[in-house]
Amino acid sequence: MWRLVLLVILACASTAHAHRGSAKYVVVERTSEGASIDVELEVVDAAMELGLGEDAPASAVLARGDDLGALLARGITIGDGAVACTAGAGAPSEVEGEDGPPRLALTIDYACPEAAGDLVLRDDTIFPTDAQHEAFVRIRFAGDTDAHVLRAGRQDVALGEPPSTVSLLGRFLVEGVLHLVTGYDHLLFLLSLVLTAGGLALREGMRVALRDVAIVVTAFTLGHSVTLIAAALGVIVLPSRLVESVIAASIAVVALLNVWRPDERRSMPWLALGFGLVHGFGFSGVLAELGLPAQARVLSLLAFNVGIELAQLAFVAVMLSPLAWLAGKPGYRTWIVRGGSIAIALLALVWLVERATAP
């Protein structure tokens, strides 16, 4: 059993970069002729779509600007299901001064037949070659906005009326759940925090272990909620490279503490609180990409945070009972606690180097 658990830890750790797949940003506005969209995509994605290779510079992609515009105009369609709108793309340009990978921007205008019904945008670009690709779509109405994330297999969005508040809250709650579930580094940090709780359950009982874990999770919640809200509202903004690097370092620190002192639990709430402040900036990244709707800004932010908490509590609840059971088996401390923590720490250190040195 311990071998299976260790393999699960390693498999989860090895995919921790997966939720950092490429992203595209689409802003949609309805016009008298139909619609207009502003598209931003990463240079590497544009280069791959054009067959230039992932190392092609922005200058090489811009030299093929007409081809890129035509490709996006064909791949991002707007229509009513029966009739497609006619698309015309402008020239691409580099996006200056943005945090993260270099991006290109261009505008596509759509002329739709007068008889067209309810319009739907569909994005078929990049998804076939990058299953982790996400398209963050923001739809502007008069005084209102709507926000969606398109993922492989769910690549359509209706361009209808402004959404209801209930619809927005449900959508942001789900996005909060998905962000934690696909944020493997956040999950591994939580696992590192509770990995030694199985031994506590064996020594002092499940009730004591549950109380201990509840305190740790509450401390983590307090920490990341403060910075998530502050970052999402624009009060404090930190460079993503710094945030992601410190998140990786936080995993390594807690994992190495488990190796050094596997029975130490008193410091866990403080570590959870302190590093939770940094993880909150990581959680806020998806909100910055998605954009909080103007008509329900605070409520959408709270719904996103609640979604994170629900996923977090579910993860901890699922992990605690197996850890308590494993604590009574030979090799728990050696293979599960120390072995698992060493594996997590090594992967975290690799991520730290990758993130700190990323261009």
Shared domain for 236 and 271, answered yes or no, is yes
Which residue would you say has higher pLDDT here, 305 or 14? 305
Mean pLDDT of the chain: 88
pLDDT at 296: 83
Shared domain for 257 and 271, answered yes or no, is yes
Shared domain for 119 and 213, answered yes or no, is no
Spatial separation of the C-alpha atoms in residues 255 and 105, rounded to whole Å: 41
Element (H, E) at 1: none
24 strand-pairing partners: 41, 135
Q: Identify whether 42 is part of a domain.
A: yes
> Tens of pLDDT along 91-119?
999 997 667 789 999 999 999 988 677 89
**Structural domain boundaries, residue 30:** 23-131
**Segment 84-87 long-range contacts (CB within 8 Å, at least 24 positions apart):** 85/34, 85/35, 85/110, 85/111, 85/112, 85/113, 85/116, 85/119, 86/110, 86/111, 86/112
Q: Identify whether 167 is part of a domain.
A: no
Q: Identify whether 254 is part of a domain.
A: yes
> Tens of pLDDT along 175-226?
999 989 888 899 999 999 999 998 888 888 888 888 999 999 999 999 999 9
Q: What average pLDDT score do residues 259-276 get?
A: 91
Whether this model's pTM surpasses 0.75: yes
> Tens of pLDDT along 53-64?
988 999 999 999
Shared domain for 236 and 113, answered yes or no, is no
Shared domain for 312 and 346, answered yes or no, is yes
Shared domain for 254 and 123, answered yes or no, is no
Q: Identify whether 152 is part of a domain.
A: no
Shared domain for 219 and 95, answered yes or no, is no
Q: Identify whether 166 is part of a domain.
A: no
Shared domain for 109 and 203, answered yes or no, is no
Lowest-pLDDT range, 24-28, 230-234, 269-273? 230-234
pLDDT cut 90: percent of the chain above it: 55
Indicate whether 280 pLDDT > 70.
yes
Shared domain for 338 and 194, answered yes or no, is yes
Shared domain for 205 and 345, answered yes or no, is yes
pLDDT at 2: 47
Indicate whether 5 pLDDT > 60.
no
Number of domain units in the chain: 2
Kindly give, in sequence order, each residue whose CB lies less than 8 Å from that of residue 34, ignoring residues fewer than 6 positions away: 78, 85, 109, 110, 111, 112, 116, 119
Shared domain for 8 and 119, answered yes or no, is no
Domain final residue, candidates 131, 152, 187: 131
Sign of CA dihedral 278, 239, 284, 316: negative
> Tens of pLDDT along 225-239?
999 999 988 888 888
Q: Identify whether 306 is part of a domain.
A: yes
Indicate whether 6 pLDDT > 70.
no
For residue 86, what are the CA distances in angstroms to 79, 155, 256, 324? 9, 19, 58, 61
Q: Identify whether 6 is part of a domain.
A: yes
> Tens of pLDDT along 130-181?
988 999 999 988 778 888 999 999 999 999 887 888 988 999 999 999 989 8
Answer whether 258's CB lies under 8 Å from 338's CB.
yes
Q: Identify whether 158 is part of a domain.
A: no
Shared domain for 12 and 46, answered yes or no, is no
The pLDDT-based confidence of 18 (bands split at 50, 70, 90) is: very low
